[in-house]
């Protein structure tokens, strides 16, 4: 069962507390308090996610309560409730760190929307914290792996630009670590305690991407039964990572350009301009110069995104770091599978060094995950890398390469995986790419390279 969020409601009027409780108790765990002093004590004793507090209260008013909460419990959002005539206090509260405010008497749907937005943001922050802790526990010094000079330059660029709010464009082949670089930028920035929201523009159909990015109002289109908050709003005060931005349609490119310039969005079906404070980090594996010449990507948007360019290296240009990657992934999957594998055999290492890795680091990771899962001893041999399995004491080789060349063997395995994904997706390349965890453009290029004919989705 999903744990309910806990909301602490603070008001010196008992009838008001009862109203809040009746409205919210079905969806949330509600704690009530009649004073600011009592509220602080209850925060110490409970895992509170959100506080809704009246501003005008005796002894300790809402402003003082807000100050105490933001001083000791920065992870807790605070929504202030105020009489419509006391707007000045609400503005002061916002400056002191309140998430939002409502006017009393309040509109129930407006209150619920503000709560929903706050808790969605809190969920993302918690997920980011959990991810960081997972990363720390698996490898306390995880960074861009490698001693390569170019990798060191990228690491230094990220360190230098992370504290700024400048837009970043990360380019490089699929699987080269673009999202890792984006997360490092966020984690080293002043926004690190706020949401990091990622969206793959190639994995979502064009007609759905707009609503995913900007959200929509109830009734905006058939099936829009309630208001939905988009990724831009969810990333407010944090970082929005737009992966595979080169796949974005011209219409959305125009809207994105306007958002970067104005820092305002508009939900589908709505008229209100919503201010956003979002750092945009975009990534792509396309050749922008070629795409711009073909009229498929706006040149003005490219220049707005390319304020700080970072180019990730393909694995074939970082072979001096190959051993580091191998050891890192073996260590990672040893923990996951409770194995004690030391390394790959010299024969495997030699062939990996000679291989071109069209799928880059992600391809190596997938190879080693399978190999660690299949290996019985403490050394990965060629049969595990080639996807062999044992049956009745004999090697049953369904994926055995016709050549000893690793490239042929891996292409045979890759072809089988892609065909399986296409079959499960009714030959829909967008869905198959999502299943495989790659961009549709990447899948299309692999289909061409492997001589697989896919259904035309144009």
What pLDDT digit, counting tens, does each position of 131-150 carry? 554 444 444 334 688 888 88
Inter-residue contact 111 to 23 (CB < 8 Å):
yes
Local confidence band at 359 (pLDDT 50, 70, 90 cut-offs): confident
Average pLDDT over residues 214-220: 85
Sign of dihedral through CA atoms 327, 333, 336, 337? negative
Identify the top-confidence range among 109-113, 252-256, 358-362: 252-256
pLDDT(129) > 80:
no
C-alpha to C-alpha distance for 92 and 89, rounded to whole angstroms: 5
Dihedral Cα 158, 160, 164, 166, nearest 10 deg: -60
Tell me the percentage of the chain whose pLDDT exceeds 70.
88
Q: Which of 74-88, 390-404, 429-443 has the lowest mean pLDDT?
A: 390-404
Instruction: Burial-class residue 305 by CB neighbours within 10 Å (0-12, 13-18, 19+).
Output: buried
Identify the pLDDT of residue 441.
76
Q: Is 370 helix (H, G, I), strand (E, B) or coil?
A: helix
Q: What is the number of other CB atoms lying within 10 angstroms of the CB of residue 44?
A: 9
pLDDT(454) > 80:
no
Dihedral Cα 275, 284, 363, 137, nearest 10 deg: -30
C-alpha to C-alpha distance for 307 and 302, rounded to whole angstroms: 9
Inter-residue contact 132 to 295 (CB < 8 Å):
no
pLDDT(406) > 80:
no
- For residues 366 and 392, the model is more confident at 366
Inter-residue contact 57 to 35 (CB < 8 Å):
yes
Element housing 413 (H / E): helix 406-424
Inter-residue contact 77 to 51 (CB < 8 Å):
yes
Average pLDDT over residues 237-244: 94
Burial profile 295-304: b = 16 or more Cβ within 10 angstroms, e = fewer: ebbbeebbeb
Beta pairing class for 279-284 and 239-243: parallel
> Of the candidates 118, 113, 115, 104, which has an alpha carbon nearest to the alpha carbon of residue 16?
104
Inter-residue contact 55 to 94 (CB < 8 Å):
no
Tokens of 128: 């980011």
DSSP 268: B
Identify the pLDDT of residue 453.
63
Identify the pLDDT of residue 334.
93
DSSP 7: E
Identify the pLDDT of residue 140.
38
Average pLDDT, the chain: 84
C-alpha to C-alpha distance for 228 and 218, rounded to whole angstroms: 8
Q: Which of 128-132, 180-184, 344-348 has the lowest mean pLDDT?
A: 128-132
Angle, vertex CA 244, rays to CA 296 and CA 260, nearest 5: 75
Across the chain, how many H-helices and E-strands are there?
19, 18
> Of the candidates 321, 323, 342, which has an alpha carbon nearest to the alpha carbon of residue 331?
342
> Of the candidates 366, 324, 362, which has an alpha carbon nearest to the alpha carbon of residue 343?
324
Dihedral Cα 103, 106, 109, 112, nearest 10 deg: 70
pLDDT(346) > 80:
yes
What pLDDT digit, counting tens, does each position of 17-56 carry? 999 999 999 999 999 999 999 999 999 888 899 999 999 9
Identify the pLDDT of residue 420.
77
DSSP 3: P
Element housing 85 (H / E): none
């Amino acid at each position: 069962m999903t744990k309910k969020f806990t909301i602490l409601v603070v008001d010196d009027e008992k009838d008001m507390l009862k109203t809040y409780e009746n409205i919210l108790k079905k969806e949330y765990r509600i704690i009530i308090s009649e004073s600011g002093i009592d509220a602080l004590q209850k925060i110490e004793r409970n895992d509170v996610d959100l506080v809704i507090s009246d501003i005008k209260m005796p002894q300790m008013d809402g402003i003082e309560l807000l100050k105490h909460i933001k001083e000791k419990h920065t992870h807790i959002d605070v929504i202030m409730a105020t009489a419509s005539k006391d707007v000045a206090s609400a503005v002061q509260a916002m400056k002191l760190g309140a998430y939002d405010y409502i006017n009393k008497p309040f509109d129930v749907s407006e209150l619920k929307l503000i709560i929903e937005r706050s808790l969605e943001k809190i969920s993302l922050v918690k997920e980011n914290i959990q991810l960081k802790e997972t990363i720390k526990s698996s490898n306390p010094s995880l960074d861009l792996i490698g001693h390569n000079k170019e990798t060191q330059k990228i690491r230094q660029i990220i360190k230098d630009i992370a504290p700024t709010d400048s837009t970043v464009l990360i380019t490089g082949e699929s699987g080269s670590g673009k999202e890792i670089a984006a997360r490092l930028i966020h984690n080293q920035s002043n926004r690190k305690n706020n949401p990091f929201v990622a969206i793959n523009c190639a994995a979502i159909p064009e007609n759905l991407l707009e609503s995913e990015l900007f959200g929509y109002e109830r009734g905006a289109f058939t099936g829009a039964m309630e208001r939905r908050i988009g990724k831009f709003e969810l990333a407010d005060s944090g970082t929005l990572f737009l992966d595979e931005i080169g796949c974005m349609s011209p219409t959305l490119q125009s809207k994105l350009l306007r958002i970067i310039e104005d820092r305002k969005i508009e939900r589908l079906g709505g008229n209100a301009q919503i201010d956003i404070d979002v750092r945009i980090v975009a990534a792509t594996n396309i050749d922008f110069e070629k795409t711009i010449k073909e009229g498929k990507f706006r040149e003005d948007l490219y220049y707005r995104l390319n304020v700080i360019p970072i180019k990730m290296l393909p694995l074939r240009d970082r072979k001096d770091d190959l051993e580091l990657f191998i050891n890192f992934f073996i260590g990672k999957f040893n923990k996951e599978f409770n194995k004690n594998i030391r390394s790959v055999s010299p024969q495997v290492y030699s062939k990996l060094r000679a291989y071109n890795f069209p799928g880059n680091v992600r391809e190596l990771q997938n190879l080693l995950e399978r190999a660690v899962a299949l290996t019985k001893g403490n050394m990965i041999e060629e049969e595990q890398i080639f996807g062999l399995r044992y049956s009745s004491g004999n090697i049953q080789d369904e994926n055995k390469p016709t050549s000893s060349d690793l490239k042929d063997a891996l292409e045979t395995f890759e072809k089988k995986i892609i065909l399986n994904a296409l079959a499960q997706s009714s030959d829909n390349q967008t869905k198959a790419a999502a299943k495989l965890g790659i961009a549709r453009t990447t899948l299309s290029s692999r289909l061409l390279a492997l001589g697989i004919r896919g259904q035309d989705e144009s």
